[in-house]
Amino acid sequence: MSEFRIQVLLTIATAAMAVLILTPTFFAIKLLLDAGLEFVFGGVVSFGILLGFILRRETTR
């Protein structure tokens, strides 16, 4: 397969992946927002901190 074709396929795959990752993420945040401000605040901040701790553990091994 030519280099040009590989790059076109990778571009499409990356754009599709971005949509597949970002859409559910923001759908979940919208659901939390609809449930109430306290849910989106608590949910997003606590999940962000948890994610930070997991990354710290994984990247300092």
Interface residues with another protein (CB under 8 A) are 3, 6-7, 10-11, 13-15, 17-18, 21-22, 25-26, 29-30, 33, 37, 40-41, 44-45, 47-48, 51-52, 55-56, 59-60
- Residue closer to another protein by CB (options 6, 35) is 6
Instruction: Identify the sign of the CA torsion 40, 41, 46, 52.
Output: positive
Cα(42)–Cα(36) distance, integer angstroms: 10
Rounded Cα gap, residues 61 and 54, in angstroms: 11
Q: How far is the CB of 12 from another protein (least distance, A)?
A: 10
